[in-house]
Homo-oligomer: A and B are copies of this chain.
């Protein structure tokens, strides 16, 4: 039987993480052996409680368990290059044990590199930065900064506390800025006591899913702007993922209006919020809005300032992924589609297109 994720990738020794209780921890970790490890799902870290009753016809959780399979499936979707995000580690920020979180994050990054990115062509990844220990995260970013397959920094937003504009995270932002790596925010629907994840009262997943990703992105964008992060790190680039894009005009205009109104409260901002957004921020499409008239989505992209800041995201291998055709079928010029489907992301992530592509 193959060595487990824990035996292979977890450093330092478990005894250093839980001094005095090494044996018990080890046993509990070893008890995880023998399970399969679907795509980026770290065994032992899947704390999702099923809040809703099983409903006939619901989609089963869909995953991928090897890089080869991921490569094959992306190719089937005609996707040449994929940037991999964690899956169950989307709830990473809810981990309260700082040493455990740091070690798990480092194990994940090693595993991501060795088991996924270096195994197949066209697979890139975002490095998990541990919000629980920003100094350790900064050292991790420095360690991987020159790795060709690491093209960004992943910061969890579900349960992150405080929100990401807090000066606590300045070491991560500084390291990302110095490495030239964009910071990529990704949320997931969880119920936690950290704003804005206190979604316990929604009675079904429809309600939770509508607000969770949406509020996470808007709250963290507001947090970044209101604390002056773009002014502190003028070379920072931020990517907002998995909440669609139609919220962006609202937040740009709303923040500009209150910037005029309450400018004295944010004296460190040298530009309008929408200027920072248009210069330093990108927005990933999935789950792309699908208005009855596809022209309405094109109009929304125009309101954001055109296709320059929009990047296609698939959310593969989840069942609710967006096929490339969700963008390709839009009534939009070909060059706009080319930007959204690849050019913007290649430039943002510093990836060289495969020969013959683009």
Please give the residue numbers on chain A whose beta carbons come within 8 Å of chain B beta carbons, in ascending order.
Answer: 52, 55-58, 161-163, 166, 195-196, 198-207, 209-211, 214-215, 218-219, 222-223, 225-227, 244, 246-247, 249-259, 261-262, 264-266, 287, 289-291, 296, 299-300, 302-303, 320
Contact = CB atoms under 8 A, between A and B. Distances in A.
B250 A163 contact: no
A223 B250 contact: no
A227 B200 CA distance: 14
A218 B209 contact: no
Contacts of A287: 254, 257
A291 B253 contact: yes
Contacts of A209: 258, 261-262
Nearest to A267: B55
A300 to B, nearest CB: 7
A87 to B, nearest CB: 18
Nearest to A260: B290
Contact of A226 (B200, B207, B226, B265): B207
Given A205-B265, A206-B258, A287-B257, A218 B214 contact: yes
A30 to B, nearest CB: 38
A253 to B, nearest CB: 4
Given A222-B207, A261-B320, A201 B166 contact: yes
A72 to B, nearest CB: 26
B196 A262 contact: no
Integer count of this chain's copies in the complex: 2
Contacts of A210: 222, 226, 251, 254-255, 258
A266 to B, nearest CB: 5
A198 B196 contact: yes
5 contacts: A203-B227, A210-B258, A214-B254, A253-B291, A299-B303
A246 B247 CA distance: 8
A276 to B, nearest CB: 13
Q: Counting chain B CB atoms within 10 Å of each CB, which of A198, A205, A259, A303 scores highest?
A: A303
Nearest to A251: B210
Given A201-B162, A265-B52, A303-B299, A226 B206 contact: yes
B215 A291 contact: no
Contacts of A218: 211, 214-215
Given A247-B247, A249-B300, 4 more contacts: A207-B225, A210-B255, A249-B289, A257-B289
Contacts of A226: 202-204, 206-207, 210
A57 B264 contact: yes
Contacts of A52: 265
Contacts of A207: 222-223, 225-227
Contacts of A266: 204, 206
A318 B205 CA distance: 39
Contacts of A255: 206, 210
A111 to B, nearest CB: 30
A-B pairs with lowest CB-CB distance, top 7:
A207-B226, A253-B289, A246-B250, A204-B265, A206-B262, A55-B264, A195-B198
